[in-house]
Amino acid sequence: MILCLTSIFLIPLAIVGLALMNAGLGRSRNAAHLLVSTLGVLSVAVAVYFVCGYAFQGSPGLASYWFKTEGKQWDWIGGGKFFFRGVVFDGSLRSLNLLFQLFCVGLAAMIPLGSGGGRWKLSASAISSAVLAGWTYPLFAHWVWGGGWLAQLGTNFGLGQGFVDVGGSTTIHAVGGLTGLCVAWILGPRLGKYSPQGMPAAIPGHDMVMAGLGCLLAFVGWLGLNSAGAVLFANIPLSQVVLVGVNTVLSTAFAILAAAIYTRIRFGKPDTSLCMNGCVGGLVASSAGCAVLGPPTAALTGALAGILVAASVEFLELRLKVDDPGGSISMHGVSGLWGAIAVALFAPNHAGQWLAQLTGIATVLGLVLPFSYGVQWGIDRVWPMRVSPEAERLGLDLHELGAGAYPEFMIHGDEFLGS
């Protein structure tokens, strides 16, 4: 209990780190807005999860709704009570799981902020987070962590251990990253991001030191995230938590190195922001298999994650015209899916494990992504999510908060940036 509780209490550092990254990689005139938005979506996510989200997610062994086919029972949604009623806060694994989930749902809810930075209304992000925390995240988390049908693929169909996602590569990060993709699609690119010919303009982050500090804090927080997930969901002996830490460190280190080498070859010099994106990509990719991979395969998983993140940021920007200021879609969505694939490729042989992993990936792409897009589209029709062009030029700090993050300094505008 003490080890798990200590690990859980490290997770907020990951949230702080990602918030600083989003702010640092964005424009200075939106920095305060991004941090306030983080506080807002975290509060909304926790409140909605308290009201109904945990009841829909549940835990293994608790009441749930299920259907039966060919004599096999499949759980699809939790059947718990709202407002945490019936939960005994006694230090048991079930109560620790609840505390763990409060941080996880907040982490998932804040991921889309990086992709919508500079143009997403604070109110719209809060509404989006309410749906994610009240339905999208709890439903998928029930399937994976709550004894739902993806976890049952092993016992019902003999597919390895069922869908394995120890620290939430898919459950937290792919869900949050794909929601961010939907947000970026619907909001459209920032003003001045693309020329009339469709070529993207470089809009550098205003504070790389802030973003770098965010990476370091996220690294510490991830050690807690993966360790707690391994204890709660992988049923590992406590001595094996050392392996979880080693795998997390190796995946992150090799991701940074791979991103630096890739960008050095691609652009002539290592790219600072892409190396930071690669760092978080390595952390995310490590989560799914942190307790089931060996150190060599964890290092390989991280190295490939670093390359994938750097390549996907460029692909999304150049080919798909998706403007993602914080790189959230690539760091969380792409790396999260890759982490699940890495378990299928590199985990010790369990018959059918690869099929269980592909089923989970197909589920998040075939069900969660369309649903998330529909939710964002519906919100935008009822309550337009994007600020006005004038507000975007002025900066969301002044427009929505009434004060800038750096009132004592002269901040250059679009003319300086050439946009």
Q: What is the DSSP string of 357-409?
A: HHHHHHHIIIIIHHHHHHHHHHHHHHS--BPPHHHHHH-HIIIIISS-S-TTS
**What is the structure's pLDDT at 408?**
77
Average pLDDT, the chain: 95
Q: Can you say whether the dihedral through the CA atoms of 273, 277, 364, 41 is positive or negative? A: negative
Question: Mind listing the domains of the chain with CATH numbers?
Answer: 2-62+85-405 (1.10.3430.10)
Higher pLDDT, 183 or 414: 183
For residue 123, give both structure tokens: 């109110």
**What is the structure's pLDDT at 61?**
83
pLDDT of residue 417 exceeding 50: no
pLDDT tens profile 223-244: 999 999 999 999 888 889 999 9
CA distances (Å), 128 to each of 248, 251, 350, 367, in order? Answer: 31, 31, 38, 17
Helix (H) or strand (E) run with residue 4 in it: helix 2-25
Q: Determine the Cα–Cα distance for residues 123 and 132; give it in Å rounded to an integer.
A: 14
Q: Determine the Cα–Cα distance for residues 407 and 416; give it in Å rounded to an integer.
A: 18
pLDDT tens profile 66-99: 998 888 899 999 999 999 999 999 989 899 999 9
Per-residue pLDDT band at 413 (split at 50, 70, 90): low
**What is the structure's pLDDT at 411?**
53
Segment 390-408 shows an average pLDDT of 93
Residues for the chain: how many in total?
A: 419
Q: Determine the Cα–Cα distance for residues 92 and 399; give it in Å rounded to an integer.
A: 47
pLDDT of residue 412 exceeding 70: no
Segment 8-25 shows an average pLDDT of 98
What is the SS3 assignment for 46?
A: helix
Q: Can you say how many angstroms the Cα of residue 329 is from the centroid of all Cα atoms in its chain?
A: 8
Q: Determine the Cα–Cα distance for residues 70 and 59; give it in Å rounded to an integer.
A: 25
Q: Determine the Cα–Cα distance for residues 77 and 171; give it in Å rounded to an integer.
A: 15
Lowest mean pLDDT among 264-268, 310-314, 404-408, 415-419: 415-419
**What is the structure's pLDDT at 351?**
80
pLDDT tens profile 363-381: 999 999 999 999 999 999 9
**What is the structure's pLDDT at 416?**
45
pLDDT of residue 415 exceeding 70: no
pLDDT of residue 410 exceeding 60: no
Segment 346-354 shows an average pLDDT of 85
Q: Determine the Cα–Cα distance for residues 340 and 320; give it in Å rounded to an integer.
A: 24
pLDDT of residue 332 exceeding 70: yes
Q: What is the DSSP string of 339-365?
A: HHHHHHHHSPP-TTHHHHHHHHHHHII
Q: What is the DSSP string of 277-335?
A: HHHHHHHHHHHHHTTTS-HHHHHHHHHHHHHHHHHHHHHHHHTS----TT-HIIIIIIH
CA 312, 309, 25 angle in degrees (round to 5)?
95
Q: Can you say how many angstroms the Cα of residue 59 is from the centroid of all Cα atoms in its chain?
A: 21
Asked if residue 146 lies in contact with residue 59, where contact means CB atoms within 8 angstroms, the answer is yes
Per-residue pLDDT band at 350 (split at 50, 70, 90): confident
Lookup result for tokens 């993602």: 324
Helix 93-115 vs helix 122-131: angle between axes, to the nearest 10 degrees? 140
pLDDT tens profile 271-297: 999 999 999 999 999 999 999 999 999
For residue 30, give both structure tokens: 């939106």
Exposed (0-12), middle (13-18) or buried (19+): which is 150, by Cβ within 10 Å?
Answer: buried
**What is the structure's pLDDT at 250?**
98
**What is the structure's pLDDT at 70?**
81
DSSP label of 202: P
Q: What is the pTM of this model?
A: 0.95
% of the chain beyond a pLDDT of 90: 90
